[in-house]
Amino acid sequence: MLPDEAALAVRAAELDAADRLAAVRRRFVLHSGTDESGGGDRPEQVYLDGNSLGALSTGVLPRLTEVITREWGELRIRSWEESGWWTAPERVGDRIAPLVGAAPGQVVVGDSTSVNVFKALVAAVRMAPRGRDEILVDAATFPTDGYIARSAARLTGHTVRALPAAELAAEAGPRTAVALVNHVDFRTGRLHDLRGITAALHRAGALAAWDLCHSAGALPVALDADGVDFAVGCTYKYLNGGPGAPAYLYVRRDLQPRFDSPLPGWNSHADPFGMAPGYEPADGAPRGRVGTPEILSLLALDAALDVWDDVAVPDVRDKSLGLTDFFLECVAALAPAGRVESITPRAHAERGSQVSLRCAGAGDVMRELTARGVVGDYRRPDVLRFGFTPLYTRYTDALRAARELAAVLEGTG
């Protein structure tokens, strides 16, 4: 071990010993380190892809076993009332609400992020005064958000203008109905100014819709305090809800009476079992529902959220910044000079909870890292992404990831 690496190892151990969230790691099912081929022990896997799919929490399997064997297997249809299935979309939404800075009654869980983006954008343009015929989108947005925005524009007679997120505030004008912005850029990990952009949009008379997929559960979000109009997010990344877990939709309370969903399903009807031919929307958050809730995945998410019961989001943010700072330091100290370049902002105010490195041959590098037990991902053509989930990632994990990355780059130089 080189002197620099030895010093980093000492620091990693000290930081892990002082970690206020260290005990939370035990609430997750993580790699045991046992070599299943019978060849003995191997190093525990370092999982740095929680920004794509969060780890399984220990409470999910027992909860789903109960749901399947008793609630579905025995109670069957009675579980809609007796087991609380019917109200689960709002109940679980109220559990997510504190993680995004929202009071109860404004978040409903169901459908996918894409579907909820569509609901929010169409509802927003329907609220806009006549003459506001423009939807602004973050030019670096996750592709689906752009696809949905263009479809919503075609259906409503609006146009879409894509701009860098930093320019949205200045470019919003009298034609702007709504802007759709990513809180954290999925490629680079850049954190955008939710409060400032929202305020600027409001000054221009426009509404603000935010995509929280890469921020909720990793850093503080203050939807109510910052006056956000609509927000959407997935639950399978930092909220650890599982693959394909349902997304959520936030509609600010004072806008709910005007929320005219483009997908008026029977589950959002004021009297869903009345089976009336005419549609009358429910009051409050249920207005964002559409069809029958995804009960198995919804209740798996409910169980996954138990890990947050005694976790303070500011502590999560502190550790996230500490982990990403330390990882960048380790990469600078150990990786061959000139082989990787960070495209994630150094400034804490501009950084989410991931580190993205530009690297030639990124796909091959990530495949080799995965074979060595360090799991991240990459985005074509040349970006390595490492997601740091503070609930279960350790400083020693960050060091090992940097060490293995350096070894791979040395071998491919």
List, by residue number, the catalytic residues. Answer: 142, 211, 236-237, 385
Classify burial at 128, counting beta carbons within 10 Å of its beta carbon; exposed 0-12, middle 13-18, buried 19 or more.
buried
d(CA 189, CA 118): 24
Strands 248-251 and 107-109: antiparallel
Q: Are 24 and 386 in contact (CB under 8 A)?
A: no
State phi, psi for 16 to the nearest 5 degrees. -65, -35
What residue ranges in 117-272 does DSSP mark as E strands? 134-138, 159-163, 176-182, 207-211, 230-233, 248-251
d(CA 105, CA 103): 7
CB atoms within 10 A of CB 405: 29
CB atoms within 10 A of CB 329: 16
Q: Which amino acid is at 88?
A: A
Would you state the torsion angle of the CA atoms of residues 238, 240, 241, 245, taken in this order, to the nearest 10 degrees? 50
DSSP 54: P
Q: Which amino acid is at 5?
A: E
Tokens describing residue 205:
């008379």
Q: Are 9 and 337 in contact (CB under 8 A)?
A: no
Tokens describing residue 320:
């996230």
Selection from 150, 156, 153, 122 nearest residue 259 by Cα? 122
Calculate Rg over the CA atoms of the chain: 22
According to DSSP H, which parts of 256-372 are helical?
Answer: 295-304, 313-334, 362-371
Q: Coil, strand or helix: which one is 193?
A: coil
CB atoms within 10 A of CB 382: 17
Q: Which amino acid is at 367?
A: R
CA angle 329–369–242, rounded 5-degree value = 95
Q: Which residues lie closer than 8 Å to 20 by C-beta, 6 or more apart?
A: 315, 319
